[in-house]
Chains A and B, each alone.
Chain A
């Protein structure tokens, strides 16, 4: 025990201690879904007391309160379960938490873009066994909502609330015209309703066809022509489906009529999409493609606006599509590593299938409830404007962006191409679309098919 010992021992002890501290951040393996006692039927008390952690993306006070209100019913049903809510959580935080072994019991996401990745990698647990165990009939959900919550036969999430997309029109600016039902009618009416200065500067646009305008993404526009994203083998169908080409040619023709530069300048002069300055609120645009939530925003920010809603116009040769549209929405599931998976499933089940819970949420957030019972509930606040979106959501032809492991990449690849196309930078549309296919297919191959 001398200086030499101290010289060597101190750093070694410090380092060993540090290393051990780091190593002890291990995780106990959490029980899997289905391995815990379950509350069958009315035997809610069969579940032992527990505290559940639920992460969600809502952040505004009104949204958080709505979520709390919706959960009140669950708390009544399961008084022994405490639910702790964490607001404003993003998708990557969920993924990181699961990877780090600190997953919450229940997590929800606003987008459906990561569902395929989560299902494939097991970030969210497959709910199929417990759904079958509890005899839940998934046909209460529209087909599109079932599609965007599962991947390759794994149902790892459930739809909680949905967004449906339709056409909003400003009655005063429509000058007595009925909302268009076909793309030809939409283009004609857009031209008719557009107001320009003497120098051609746009003062009011009939309809902005650019994909760079707020909600006009290819995914939202595609259902107007019944366009397909993928072939059955998962490869891109964008270049081979003539519907996309038709949509893009229609869009370019209308943009050229405005003049790309003039339309772009007008677009950039418009207010923020999520503020009271939205151009539709301000009477700057006669018709817009938007989600059902716009109704609530108009009620808050532009009470005096006289407007109507309708399904989106469709391709002239596809009249059977009229009434349908795009849908996607909030998804919720039980992450891998949840401490109380059976309790968590009861909460997911309540939030996604309980009519009262769904109606409470829908009434507060003005999103579309996902089950047929909730949509038909007399307690659901409906008016003709909101009803349009309920009808679009339940329309049999309504479609979604199919789950894909490269969903974000694929949308970006296509959007980038369309932006270049509408500007006039693409000389050969077929060749360009084939290039998009190649990008998507190469990426698919890299991701393991």
Chain B
């Protein structure tokens, strides 16, 4: 009897071990590229570390964070982008996709037009956008002036800089639009036909058929959008640099966040702490905060969408 039982147990152990061995490259990668950096980040966050010398300072980096005004401002700005820019981008992309699916003619042309901005390299796109919105020489404000509207100082006014970055994000929402387009085209047509026969209007059809069907794509777009917003760096840095006209020269270094720290995001401040100030320990505190924020937002979104799925089904 025991011999009979021992055989499958030994077999299972062997199979388990074998699976583990074949999984080991991935496990090694996970350990080297995720677990080790995470542990090292936690470790360095308790140290003063300038890439060369290491000194244990306990919670000093964490204490400093609480008094670092610009870190707090950068968190506020990043949250603003998460709360306003991500929904704006997702809704705009969904709207565009809906529009393209409804077009009787020229859908291909419009799809191309809407998608093209996302092909433009980020830096080039941002620089062009800032030039277009230049309050003195940009064509947008000149056109507004023709119709009697005084355009704002888009990237130069602290109240307008983040909405301007949001506009830039919406302009480049072509990738998300294509994903939504694929999802929308995948919704079975007969469901709409049946709903129409039952007297459901456009909004009811959208709410009860389109949204539940494309909800996995919505979750994907929202989660990736939030992670993207939490890592928002290049556009804010380039827009601030171009709009401020500042350059680095001896005794004159560019201050990120122009105007008045309104575009300073957490990743920019993290980069600055680590690679401009060489306060690696403090940068690790900011990195941990960013990691925690990403986790929290992702979990919240997943729960919200799960609840939404249950509600509609």
A residues contacting B by CB (< 8 A) are 7-8, 11-12, 14-15, 18, 92, 95, 99, 110-113, 117, 120-123, 163, 212-215, 217, 219-220, 264-270, 272-274, 291, 326, 328-329, 400-401, 405-406, 408-409, 411-413, 415-416, 419-420, 423, 425, 435, 439, 442-443, 445-448
Tell me whether A446 and B245 are in contact (CB under 8 A).
no
Interface string of B242-263 (1 = CB under 8 A from A): 0111111111110111111100
Tell me whether B279 and A446 are in contact (CB under 8 A).
yes
Q: A92-B275, A328-B250, A448-B55 are in contact. List 16 more A-B contacts (CB 8 A).
A: A8-B18, A11-B25, A14-B25, A111-B249, A112-B251, A117-B278, A163-B249, A215-B252, A408-B253, A408-B276, A412-B253, A415-B255, A419-B258, A425-B260, A442-B64, A446-B61
CA distance A144 to B305 in the complex (A): 63
Contact of A412 among B18, B134, B255 (CB under 8 A): B255
Contact of B156 among A121, A264, A406 (CB under 8 A): A264
Known: A7-B18, A123-B52, A446-B64. A269 touches B249 (CB 8 A): no
Known: A95-B51, A123-B52. A217 touches B134 (CB 8 A): no
Interface of B is mostly: loop
Interface residues on B, range: 35 or more
Contact of A110 among B61, B245, B250 (CB under 8 A): B250
CA distance A142 to B185 in the complex (A): 73
Min CB gap B226→A, angstroms: 28
Interface of A is mostly: helix
What are 22 A-B contacts with C-beta separation under 8 Å?
A7-B18, A99-B51, A110-B250, A113-B253, A121-B52, A214-B245, A264-B153, A264-B156, A265-B135, A266-B136, A268-B134, A268-B245, A270-B245, A272-B245, A328-B250, A423-B260, A443-B64, A446-B48, A446-B61, A446-B64, A446-B282, A448-B55
Tell me whether A111 and B156 are in contact (CB under 8 A).
no
Tell me whether B69 and A112 are in contact (CB under 8 A).
no
Q: Which 10 A-B pairs have the closest CB atoms?
A: A269-B136, A328-B250, A219-B251, A217-B252, A121-B52, A412-B255, A268-B136, A446-B64, A408-B276, A415-B255
Q: Return chain A residues, CB-CB under 8 Å to B136.
A: 265-266, 268-269
Interface string of B105-141 (1 = CB under 8 A from A): 0000000000000000000000000000011110000
Tell me whether A267 and B245 are in contact (CB under 8 A).
yes
Tell me whether A274 and B282 are in contact (CB under 8 A).
no
Known: A99-B51, A448-B55. A328 touches B251 (CB 8 A): yes
CA distance A346 to B64 in the complex (A): 44
CA distance A110 to B52 in the complex (A): 22
Residue B21 CB within 8 A of the other chain: yes
Q: Return chain A residues, CB-CB under 8 Å to B28.
A: 15, 18
